Structures are given as structure tokens and as C-alpha cells.
């Protein structure tokens, strides 16, 4: 087997168990969203049902809506995502995936790590395609490769660097929503 075949047969890095544990942790302890929001984005989830569910949970949390199974189910049904995600069977799988929400941040870090590795693989694949296309000089190809790799870091760094006034406004909005 040559190197190309070996690479083609490999699976992208993913930890579906960690993804389910993050989601289950939120359902067990909705306040975990406070810690997870700074770590994860919906597109960090590899499995589409997990990505959709996290998007809904994060949106519910940031808009101050209570997170419980009944409200979540209603939201998913009204958006058309309930059946798309797998319905009651999927939600049951999420709920039973975790016994404690104490390790939610640890699971989130695993999910984020795998997402970063997938982004790196995709960037490297694009770099290889560009080089084989032969449309750029070596210097241009290196510049493009560098830009792609650094954009992965920037993407992560930009998420953690938020102006303090935005953080304060968001925190105040959450506090107001919870007070109501």
C-alpha cells in the first residue's frame, strides 16, 4: 500500500463519546454552558446531530431561555431538526451518555482538539492540491500554506480575545435573562 492509499483510508479525528458527554452534561447541568461557550462552537462537533443540538443549546443559553428536555424538544420540533437529528432515540442516547456533568470542560477540550486536528488535515489537503496543481510559484505556495495554517490558530485565538465591553454586555444580558 502506498502513502496516498494509506492516507485516503484514514478516518478524521473525532471523539463521538466526548461530543455526547458535552451535550449530556449541558442537559444535566445547563449552567455548564457558561464554561463551554468560551471553548466550543457548533462547528467543532463532527457528528451533524451533535452539531445541531449544541447549536440549539448554545442559542437557548445565550438568549436566556431555560434549558430542559421539554423545551428543547419543542424547539427542535418547531425548527424541523428533531427528526433530522434522530428524534427521541437520539435525545435518549445523549441523556444516557453521561452520569455527571463534572467533567464537561474536559470533554469540551477533547472535542475542540479533535476539531482543530480536522481543520489542520483539511488545510494540509488543500495545500497538497494547490502544490500539485502547479499554478503557483514555490514562494506563493509557501505563503498560501502558511496563511492556511495560521488561520487555524487565528480562528482559535480570535474566539478567546473578546473586547471586555462585549463580555460585560453579554454577561449583563445573561444575568437579566436569568433574573426574569
pLDDT digits (tens, 9 = 90+) for 37-53: 999 999 999 999 999 99
User: With 90 as the cut, is the pLDDT of residue 84 above it?
Assistant: yes
User: With 80 as the cut, is the pLDDT of residue 174 above it?
Assistant: no
Q: Maximum CA pair distance of the chain?
A: 63
Query: What are the residues whose beta carbons fall under 8 Å from the beta carbon of 69, sequence distance 6 or more?
Result: 27, 91, 95
- 57: cell is 443549546
User: With 70 as the cut, is the pLDDT of residue 141 above it?
Assistant: yes
User: With 80 as the cut, is the pLDDT of residue 2 above it?
Assistant: no
Q: What confidence score (pLDDT) does residue 132 get? A: 95
Q: What confidence score (pLDDT) does residue 10 get? A: 86
Give dist(CA 61, CA 30) in Å, integer.
8
Q: What confidence score (pLDDT) does residue 169 get? A: 66
Average pLDDT rounded to a whole number, residues 10-28: 96
- Report angle CA 50, 54, 58 to the nearest 5 degrees: 180
Are 97 and 19 spatial neighbours (Cβ–Cβ below 8 Å)? Answer: no
If phi > 0 it is left, if psi is from -120 to 50 it is alpha, else beta; for residue 20 that is alpha
Instruction: Provide the mean pLDDT of the chain.
Output: 88
Question: Which of 7, 133, 71, 15 has its CA nearest to residue 63?
Answer: 71
Average pLDDT rounded to a whole number, residues 106-124: 96
- 176: cell is 437579566
Q: What confidence score (pLDDT) does residue 6 get? A: 63
Average pLDDT rounded to a whole number, residues 7-22: 91
Give dist(CA 75, CA 77) in Å, integer.
5
DSSP 8-state class, residue 12: P
DSSP for 23-46, written as a single string: HHHHHH-TTHHHHHTTT--GGG-S
On the CB side of 6, CA atoms within 13 Å amount to: 3
Average pLDDT rounded to a whole number, residues 93-122: 95
User: With 80 as the cut, is the pLDDT of residue 16 above it?
Assistant: yes
A 10 A CB-CB count for 25 gives: 26
- Report angle CA 122, 90, 103 to the nearest 5 degrees: 70
Amino acid at each position: 500500500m502506498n502513502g496516498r492509499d494509506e492516507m485516503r483510508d484514514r478516518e478524521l479525528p473525532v471523539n463521538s463519546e466526548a461530543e455526547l458527554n458535552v451535550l449530556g452534561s449541558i442537559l444535566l447541568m445547563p449552567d455548564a454552558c457558561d464554561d463551554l461557550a468560551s471553548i466550543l462552537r457548533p462547528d467543532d462537533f463532527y457528528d451533524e446531530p451533535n452539531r445541531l443540538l449544541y447549536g440549539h443549546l448554545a442559542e437557548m443559553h445565550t438568549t436566556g431561555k431555560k434549558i430542559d428536555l421539554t423545551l428543547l424538544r419543542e424547539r427542535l420540533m418547531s425548527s424541523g431538526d428533531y427528526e433530522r437529528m434522530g428524534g427521541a432515540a437520539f435525545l435518549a442516547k445523549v441523556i444516557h451518555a453521561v452520569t455527571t456533568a463534572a467533567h464537561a470542560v474536559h470533554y469540551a477540550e477533547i472535542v475542540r482538539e479533535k476539531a482543530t486536528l480536522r481543520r489542520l488535515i483539511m488545510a494540509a489537503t488543500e495545500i497538497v492540491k494547490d502544490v500539485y496543481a502547479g499554478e503557483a510559484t514555490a514562494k506563493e505556495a509557501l505563503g498560501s500554506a502558511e496563511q492556511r495554517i495560521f488561520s487555524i490558530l487565528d480562528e482559535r485565538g480570535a474566539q478567546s480575545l473578546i473586547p471586555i465591553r462585549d463580555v460585560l454586555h453579554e454577561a449583563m444580558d445573561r444575568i437579566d435573562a436569568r433574573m426574569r
